[in-house]
Amino acid sequence: MSRSTKEPTILEALFPILFLVILLAVNINIFATDGLSGSNQIVLLLAAAVAGLIAVFRLGFSWATIQDGMINSISAAMSSILILLLIGSLAGTWMLSGIVPAMIYYGLQVLNPTIFLLAACVVSAIVSVATGSSWTTVATVGVALLGIGKALGFEDGIIGGAIISGAYFGDKMSPLSDTTNLAPAMAGTDLFTHIRHMTITTFPTMFITLVIFGSIGFFRGAEGSVGQVSEISEVILERFNISGWLFVVPLLVLVLIMKKAPAIPTLLAGALLGGIWAIVFQPEIIQSLAWNPEDSFAVNSFQVVMTSLYGNTTIVTSNDIVNELLITGGMFGMLNTVWLIICAMVFGGIMEVSGMLRILAEAVMRKVTSVGSLIAATAGTGVFFNLTTSDQYLAILVPGRMYADIYKKKGLKGENLSRTLEDSATVTSVLVPWNTCGATQASVLGVATLTYAPYCFFNIISPFMTILFGYLKIGINYYSTSEVRAIEEEKVL
């Protein structure tokens, strides 16, 4: 027999979210940046339990339906989880092989405190546009830039903000990016029209971001000295065999991504090649990390490389700053983030399958009266879904489906919607500690989300820029009279 269900009320839909926000605030106040170790995950599960109780006992949903919603939600995140685990392995072998230390070494030779933040943002943007992946950019070039910035005396948070600002500029503007392809698909426009339309809001936002980072570097500089940079460079040279051949692996990975090779096999290849490069170029380090140095080099190589793929690897030098840079956790280091993603998707799955997210979004739509308020509502919905579903793809998919017809009815072309989705959902996901993007970048960089978030100027300014342009009606594309007529005829057919 079919089981009848009820529509949730606004209060019922809001209650799990209010519960989540309040408990997270308490949790962050008590555990601070250590929340990723487990307390944030428990909070999400408790909020999911509250949503589940409402869905079953108030709305009449069966447990089977709720469970299916959770499983489908987790399934949607599985590719992200696999990528995250492989990024952990890649970070481990790239550190062991000397690839990341080489990036740090050469970076120290050309960068100085005055231009570093601006350069870090620009380099991250270029790599992200070329690869179409903010995650890959942060996990490779970003990790190296973090090491360089630390050596120059900058705080973790502001370095992370510069890296992420650049990486998410590329994530928005690259035709290779999954979100850049997803947004126009949801909004009913084509890829290159979408990219051209995004330049209207994205370029001014990036310009402001670069001015801010350039000003910080010019007026404040950093505490690092020339002597300290020289000492760090010497220590890296003493511990590693630095060679230009080390860059073959990252270049190969970048080429594969630019050729649209699938992310999972590409990252796996990068991690395994990093292990091979470690054996070839860093045999002394492998021997120093071996459990039993008396064993053969083949046995020690297998043990050390395998450990770097899955577990903690620490390379000790005579310099404390360098020691902080030479610690990786492999796949194991990503498990807390994987745990967080699963818990977040459980909460998002229950909220979506029970209709609570839809009810809240519809309530917002009833307040729309103008083009500006429609764009503001779209941007707000994108941010809201990043906060509640903990997944940037849902934050693009659901509002995209919800608002597409409304934009058409108001005579607005699809590129207006797709641009707004990117200006809000894509870029703000990394600012939320329990979102898959925020949790991932925090783990990859080793910098807590709330530590780098205040310095992600590009990500913070973007939604305000798109709302401002909406109210000022700058860069808004309308359907012509003939196009409106064609749409109406298509509906009739």
Lowest-pLDDT range, 3-17, 98-112, 303-317, 410-424? 98-112
- How far is Cα 361 from Cα 355, in angstroms, rounded to an integer? 10
Nearest Cα neighbor of 474 from 343, 339, 372 is 372
- How far is Cα 253 from Cα 174, in angstroms, rounded to an integer? 17
360 vs 10, more confident: 10
User: DSSP E strands: which ranges in 62-188?
Assistant: none
pTM for the model: 0.70
Average pLDDT, integer, range 167-188:
81
The pLDDT tens digits of the residues spanning 316-361 come to: 888 876 777 788 888 998 888 788 778 878 888 898 899 887 787 6
Side-chain half-sphere CA neighbours of 476 within 13 A: 20
The domain spans of the chain are 10-76+334-492, 79-332
Average pLDDT, integer, range 458-462:
96
Q: Which pLDDT score, from 0 to 100, does residue 203 have?
A: 95
State the DSSP string of 323-341: HHHSEE-TTGGGHHHHHHH
The pLDDT tens digits of the residues spanning 45-90 come to: 999 999 999 999 999 999 999 999 999 888 877 877 887 788 789 8
State the DSSP string of 157-186: HHHHHHHHHHHHHHHHH-TT-HHHHHHHHH
Place of tokens 């040279």: 237
Kindly indicate the confidence band of residue 1, based on its pLDDT and cuts at 50, 70 and 90: very low
Sort residue 277 into left (φ over 0), alpha (ψ -120 to 50) or beta.
alpha
The pLDDT tens digits of the residues spanning 180-236 come to: 877 887 787 887 788 889 999 999 999 999 999 999 988 875 555 555 667 778 888
